[in-house]
């Protein structure tokens, strides 16, 4: 689930409008709208602030990969063309930049 979908679901679960959440979080309704519609990717800190305004807390976790599955994934990746792997790498790098800086898409 992306950050915008998460925020929209949690906001609606609390029965708040975008405007009401924006007032609680000290931001603008347009900012909430851009995040929820995928036009802006918030930083982890920003998403945590918005969820805190809803009375919730963001929790992140890391889960170890199954070693056997990881080997299968590496083999499958090696079977793909260099172009396909590079395209995936560029997409991942772009996503990482958005997460790190909250950049717009």
Query: Which of the four pLDDT bands, split at 50, 70 and 90, describes residue 94?
Result: confident
Q: Tell me, what's the pLDDT at 63?
A: 75
CB-based contacts of 57: which residues, under 8 Å, 6+ apart? 48, 51
pTM higher than the cut 0.85 = no
For 26-57, write each residue's pLDDT tens digit. 999 999 999 999 999 999 999 999 999 999 99
Residue with tokens 């056997």: 68
Count the domains in the chain: 1
Confidence class for position 1, pLDDT limits 50, 70, 90: confident
CATH of the domain at 17: 1.10.260.40
pLDDT band at 102 (very low <50, low <70, confident <90, very high): low
Where in the sequence is the domain holding 93, given as residue range(s)? 1-105
């Amino acid at each position: 689930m992306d950050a915008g979908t998460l925020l929209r679901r949690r906001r609606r679960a609390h029965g708040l409008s975008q405007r009401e959440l924006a007032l609680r979080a000290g931001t603008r309704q347009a900012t909430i709208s851009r995040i929820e519609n995928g036009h802006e990717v918030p930083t982890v800190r920003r998403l945590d602030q918005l969820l805190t305004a809803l009375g919730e807390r963001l929790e992140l976790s890391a889960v170890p990969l199954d070693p056997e599955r990881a080997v299968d994934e590496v083999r499958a990746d090696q079977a793909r063309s260099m172009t396909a792997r590079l395209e995936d790498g560029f997409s991942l790098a772009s996503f990482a930049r958005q997460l790190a800086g909250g950049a717009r898409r």
